[in-house]
Structure 1
């Protein structure tokens, strides 16, 4: 009986080893294990940040490929209207010459008014003076991708082709959850980092109070939280940096630069002020501004998430302290009322005894 049991246990151990080795050598199990590790890494802070950047680059390459070579009807129309306006003005000049100044001015104004109305209509339809290959450069497409999945939506660059519009819908549906994940994770990482720096600076600059207990000096441990004012100072400094930077590059006044930084970080994005949108800028300068704006907005979103987490923690701590203070205050009031009632009762009893 014992031999049979020993033989079966040995056989079972051999079988388990064989199954383990089979699992390790199975390529499907290896692929599943790699996928699990990859998914776990993508949900970490580094993975989410890399995922957002890669997703933006993928979107930029896709939109640039779709929209860059698309024919721009408005640009062709504007060129034709301009040529027609020049030809008509030349014909009017040849017909009336300078001698009939009134007729020349009247007909010239009609031609220029028609040209002006045509240009105004083209601008309403998306004409901005640039060809598709100039509009859909890689930095511009990168900025467009960022404005889609961060829900800023500047509106200065929009898709005009059917596939571009369909791609934008799909890109937003998949990109917004990725951005929300980035917003939450990056906020936690930056909040922990900033809190550690704040606590370290606080401990270095201020000694903890001590208590003398049984002849030994013990430090009082206090829970340190980052105040909301510190978060506001960080955001204010970041906005000030963007104000000076964009004001110097774009020749905006400080109010317009601050306005742009605030509406971008708040994800409002009206699109009336966008870096690199001036057609007088060179292509290289415009592209550099768009790339720096991409980094500024992406990092700024992380700082906003950091401040949100720290301010929520500060509010929770203050609410907890306020609740404890109110409880202590109510306990003190209750104790005083009880003592007062006992004193009154004792006084009445004493008066009753004296009367008797």
Structure 2
């Protein structure tokens, strides 16, 4: 089995194993907390209904009002600032879900907009990542020259370390800013930045969603958008290196397999319809053909004076020499007859074993 197929199968197995392990860990970490929270909310619901003497239907109406009113606390979501924020989440595939179109036209335009915008955004971020990696390689070479290193070339490990460091600094700096503006804890801010820049976008924590920030804090809106776009470019550079490394490994394996196949093909000797490989095995084929194509007897050089060729009463045998007989002497053992030595491409029929009397074509 080819190494590429083995690697692909291994990746499939590892991915599903990773999913199973992740599911088990999340189950162990979150299931009990979810159960307790559900019980607490249910008890609180009963207390509110009993205290204010309202029905369950009225309570569900109150829940609906609270949930639907939450996005509007940030201001108008579909004015230019909010619409630009929404378009950014579509193009970058973050998809917080904090605001969604309600009209048929808005939903239709979202689908058309995403079909063109998502590939455009991916190509843009990949291009920026490549330029960033190129700049990083130049910086690494200059630093190595300053340190008088023997090898001044930037390796893949060096580039991965650099872009990973930049990604970490970007997340750390963004977390500090969001912690200040949003009032989140620093850990929650780091979590938000990571979920955003990896385009996971759960939507459980979304910036610019309170105190009418979309309308009253334009500098914060600009910072949030720049952070998302610049951070995605940094993370794309890191992911680009990792994916490129894996693709390079596959390409190397494919080239190695092609080289081995070519070497094996060059190491085969064809005897009219049969193929003798370099290890001495014989692959039978159609008589009178070489490589699947009919060979004319007049296309080869005559080296035998006997009349043993089937279908001919006289004349010489005609053979096609694919490799010098000196390199396949171990495949065609000769019996000494006391005859004078022949040229490198001459073979007498009487010298061949009886099995190859009529098929000793080289």
Q: d(CA) in 2 for partners of 1:107 and 1:309?
A: 58
Q: Does the CA-based 8 Å contact 2:85-2:225 persist in structure 1?
A: yes
Q: Does the CA-based 8 Å contact 1:129-1:279 persist in structure 2?
A: no
Query: Do the aligned partners of residues 290 and 316 (structure 1) sit closer, same or farther apart at CA in structure 2, a change above 3 Å counting?
Result: same
- Report the CA distance between 1:118 and its aligned residue: 1.0
Q: Does the CA-based 8 Å contact 2:156-2:241 persist in structure 1?
A: yes
Q: Is residue 234 of structure 2 the alignment partner of residue 292 of structure 1?
A: no
**Match for residue 262 of structure 1 among 155, 170, 194:** 194
Cα-Cα RMSD: 3.3
- Report the CA distance between 1:177 and its aligned residue: 1.3
Gaps of 5+ in 2: 1-47, 252-362
Query: Do the aligned partners of residues 204 and 260 (structure 1) sit closer, same or farther apart at CA in structure 2, a change above 3 Å counting?
Result: same
State the Cα deviation string for residues 178-214 of structure 1 (Å, max 9, x = none).
1121122111111111111121122112343xxxxxx
Structure number with higher helix proportion: 1
Q: Is residue 178 of structure 2 the alignment partner of residue 246 of structure 1?
A: yes
| Pairing of 1:33-44 with structure 2 (within 5 A) | none
- Report the CA distance between 1:277 and its aligned residue: 0.6
- Report the CA distance between 1:311 and its aligned residue: 4.3
**Match for residue 155 of structure 2 among 184, 205, 225:** 225
- Report the CA distance between 1:262 and its aligned residue: 0.6
- Report the CA distance between 1:243 and its aligned residue: 1.0
| Pairing of 1:1-356 with structure 2 (within 5 A) | 109-111=52-54, 115-123=58-66, 126-128=68-70, 130=72, 134-208=76-150, 223-227=153-157, 228-279=160-211, 283-285=215-217, 287-311=218-242
Q: Does the CA-based 8 Å contact 1:265-1:301 persist in structure 2?
A: yes
Query: Do the aligned partners of residues 315 and 224 (structure 1) sit closer, same or farther apart at CA in structure 2, a change above 3 Å counting?
Result: farther
Gaps of 5+ in 1: 1-104, 209-220, 321-356
Q: Which residue of 2 aligns with 1:64?
A: none
- Report the CA distance between 1:312 and its aligned residue: 5.3
Q: Which residue of 1 aligns with 2:19?
A: none
Q: d(CA) in 1 for partners of 2:56 and 2:168?
A: 47
Q: d(CA) in 1 for partners of 2:125 and 2:152?
A: 30
Q: d(CA) in 2 for partners of 1:275 and 1:106?
A: 33
Alignment partner of 2:76: what SS?
helix
Q: d(CA) in 2 for partners of 1:130 and 1:303?
A: 32
Q: d(CA) in 2 for partners of 1:243 and 1:132?
A: 20
Alignment partner of 1:135: what SS?
coil
TM-score, scaled relative to structure 1: 0.50
Paired residues, number: 203
Q: d(CA) in 2 for partners of 1:132 and 1:167?
A: 24
Whose relative contact order is higher, 1 or 2, with alpha carbons under 8 Å and at least 6 apart?
1
- Report the CA distance between 1:275 and its aligned residue: 1.1
State the Cα deviation string for residues 91-143 of structure 1 (Å, max 9, x = none).
xxxxxxxxxxxxxx99971348665421212455x432628972223222111
Query: Do the aligned partners of residues 169 and 159 (structure 1) sit closer, same or farther apart at CA in structure 2, a change above 3 Å counting?
Result: same
Q: d(CA) in 2 for partners of 1:157 and 1:106?
A: 30
Q: d(CA) in 2 for partners of 1:195 and 1:274?
A: 35
Alignment partner of 1:130: what SS?
helix
